[in-house]
Amino acid sequence: MKKIQAFLFSQKIAPYVFILPFIVSLSFFWIYPMYSTINMSFHNIGNGYSEYIGLANYEKLLGDKVFHIAVRNSVIYTIFTLIILIPIPMLCAFLLNSKSVVGKRIYKSIIYLPALVSVVVAGILFRYMFSEMDTGLMNQILNFFGLESKQWLKNWGTGMFALLLLATWRWTGVNTLYFEAGLSSIDEVLYESAKVDGANAWQRFWHITLPLLKPTRIYVTTISIYAGLAMFLESFMIYGSNNSPKNIGLTIVGYLYRRGIEKNDLGYASAVGLVLLIVALSISMVYLVSSGMFKKEAK
């Protein structure tokens, strides 16, 4: 009995007991499926059969033009979301944090509202907005300025624009909130002393806010990389299905879905999923290492 008590009260054991639920759920929902996916990616799977085919799925992926389109789309989308959804929300947060802005909470609520709208609803809304008919909102705007209607969702550039606009509309508020939280942890004293030293607003932003927001920046960038590469539903809803003209809206996850579910080819889909994991992990790791996230803090 005493032994058990000693075991439970041991300072060395306790932390492991506390993180046990996490480890258990991680093994159930991550490690096992992960093992399964790796295993399946070496098989050709169909109804009632599963044969080992070695690296054939990966070899096929190398020459798969549609997969390459999907990867290109996902990567470009991710890069653009990073370019848009880091600086703009940061600026919004900085402005909202400024003491001279009145009614900032109302602004905050307004920019956060789109995040509460479901992707399905937002996607359908954008599909109608970007309709190629003259009655579509975007075409009405173009016509108002004397420009001709566009086939928004049929061309790569304008299709990507629709996807990015949707992402910007939905996520600016959320990222702004993250940066707000980061800003509130910066000591006011720093700004005051900078002011005393004669630093203007831009200098204060550049030399105090930006460096001290680094942890938040890293966090937001990392989750944005993941969100960008994992994007699927937005495109699915805007195009009304997983099919877009010339695959301009196809993403890696969309391709995984097409292969695994629509074409009942789970082995190949597993290979696609693993490539996505590797791409996402490597981009994130390169970013985290280069941003010094893993360096020990200076004593």
Partner 1 sequence: MRLPKKGFFYFVILLMTVLVVGCSSSSSGNGKKTEEVESVVTTVGPEDGAKMDMWLFVDLHQKFYTEMLNKWNEENPNKQIQIKFTVYPYADMHTKLTLSVQSGEGIPDLADVEIGQFPNFLDGEVPWLALNSYVELYKADLVTSRLDAYEKDGNYYGVPTHVGATVMYYNTEILEKYGIDYTQIKTWDDFTAAGEKLKEASNGEVYMTSVDTGGADWLTLAMSEYGESWVENPDKANVELDSLNNMLTMQQSWLESGIAEVTPGGQIDTEQGYATVAKGEVAAFPKAIWYMSRFTDYMPEMSGKFAIAPAPVFEEGQKRSNGAGGTGTVVYKESENAELAAEFMTWAKLTEEGGEQIWNILGFDPVNTKVWTNKEITHNQENEYVQYFVNNPFDTLLEIQDEVNLIKTVPITTTINEAFNLTTLNEVLENGAEVKQALEDAQAEVDFEQE
- Residues engaged in binding partner 1 (CB under 8 A): 45-49, 63-66, 99-100, 102-106, 109, 113, 116, 118, 131-133, 151, 154, 240, 243-247, 258, 261-264, 266
Closest distance to partner 1 from the beta carbon of 56 (Å)? 10
Closest distance to partner 1 from the beta carbon of 268 (Å)? 10
Q: In the complex with partner 1, which residue's Cβ is closer, 67 or 77?
A: 67
Closest distance to partner 1 from the beta carbon of 280 (Å)? 24
Closest distance to partner 1 from the beta carbon of 46 (Å)? 4
Task: Name the DSSP class of 240.
Answer: S
Take residue 192 and report the two structure tokens written for it: 């005051």
Task: Name the DSSP class of 49.
Answer: E
Closest distance to partner 1 from the beta carbon of 49 (Å)? 5
Of 17, 186, 202, 238, whose CA–CA distance to 91 is shortest? Answer: 202
Q: Helix (H, G, I), strand (E, B), or coil: what is residue 46?
A: strand
Q: In the complex with partner 1, which residue's Cβ is closer, 86 or 204?
A: 204
Closest distance to partner 1 from the beta carbon of 22 (Å)? 28
Q: In the complex with partner 1, which residue's Cβ is closer, 106 or 189?
A: 106
How far is it, in rounded angstroms, from Cα 186 to Cα 253? 38
51, containing H or E segment? strand 49-52
What b/e readout covers 58-93, taking b as 16+ CB neighbours within 10 angstroms?
Answer: eeebeebeebebbbebbbebbebbbebbbeebbebb
Q: Helix (H, G, I), strand (E, B), or coil: what is residue 131?
A: coil
Q: In the complex with partner 1, which residue's Cβ is closer, 216 or 257?
A: 257
Q: In the complex with partner 1, which residue's Cβ is closer, 104 or 204?
A: 104
Task: Name the DSSP class of 154.
Answer: G
* Residues paired with residue 50 on neighbouring β-strands, in sequence order: 45
Q: In the complex with partner 1, which residue's Cβ is closer, 131 or 209?
A: 131
